[in-house]
Amino acid sequence: MVRVWLGEVKDPDFPRVADTARPQLLIGNTRDDPEELIEKLNAGSTPGSGFAQTHGIRPRLDLLASLPRTVRGPATHPNKAEARERMQLIKKHLNGHGYVVDTNKGNSVYTVYVVNLRDTVGPRVEPHSWVYVGQTTRTPPERLRQHLSGHKASRHVFRHGVDLNRHLYRNVPATRFKEDVLKLEARLARDLKRRGYNVLGGH
């Protein structure tokens, strides 16, 4: 049987993007006892321990137990596929209550990037050039190569992309939470529009 576990980032200095005092949460599933799994992650004795060893994870099974029964579901699931479905439902509920939640033990790294676009994308409305703002778990150069090859590509970058504009995103921090990187992406897009760039993406 498989159980869903919930933990929070223990490191008080771990960067925050959302303006909230709510804990930054991690959710997963395991065939082991959830608290024992979290101990193993913190000790580095199980796969996927990188984030936990650096920043620590505190069990939050109390928070999981406090969720409505229709959200948290049964105590165990017959397989990992059903546990993952339940995780997504719990994550959606927690997101709706202002939490940020990661489903990869904190080991995904999200980065915002900016691509210069040719003016063939359309007439300029603002005085500066066209740019595309996006976010990725790959490196920005890898993501640009995907766009230009047509793999999971924005049509704007596929047809009109030139190169990365590192100057425009160099001060945007990487993050471990998808909700945080989406906020950073939208924030950068708004800032670039205010500065007179013609912006696509950034949503």
Q: Are 138 and 85 in contact, with CB atoms under 8 Å apart?
A: no
- The Cα–Cα gap between 187 and 75 comes to 39
Buried b (16+ CB within 10 A) or exposed e, 33-57: ebeebbbbbbeeebeebebbeebbb
Q: Are 200 and 117 in contact, with CB atoms under 8 Å apart?
A: yes
> With pLDDT > 70 as the criterion, what percentage of the chain qualifies?
99
Mean pLDDT throughout 60-69?
A: 97
Q: Tell me the average pLDDT of the chain.
A: 96
Determine the pLDDT at residue 116: 98
Determine the pLDDT at residue 18: 73
User: Binning pLDDT at 50, 70 and 90, where does residue 19 land?
Assistant: low
- 101-112: pLDDT as tens digits: 999 999 999 999
Q: Which helix (H) or strand (E) holds 87?
A: helix 80-96
Shortest CA distance to 35 belongs to which of 70, 74, 62, 68? 62
Determine the pLDDT at residue 114: 98
Mean pLDDT throughout 186-192?
A: 98
| CA distances, 187 to each of 33, 172, 175 (Å) | 40, 10, 14
Strand partners, 134: 113
- 119-169: pLDDT as tens digits: 999 999 999 999 999 999 999 999 999 999 999 999 999 999 999 999 999
The overall pTM is greater than 0.85: yes
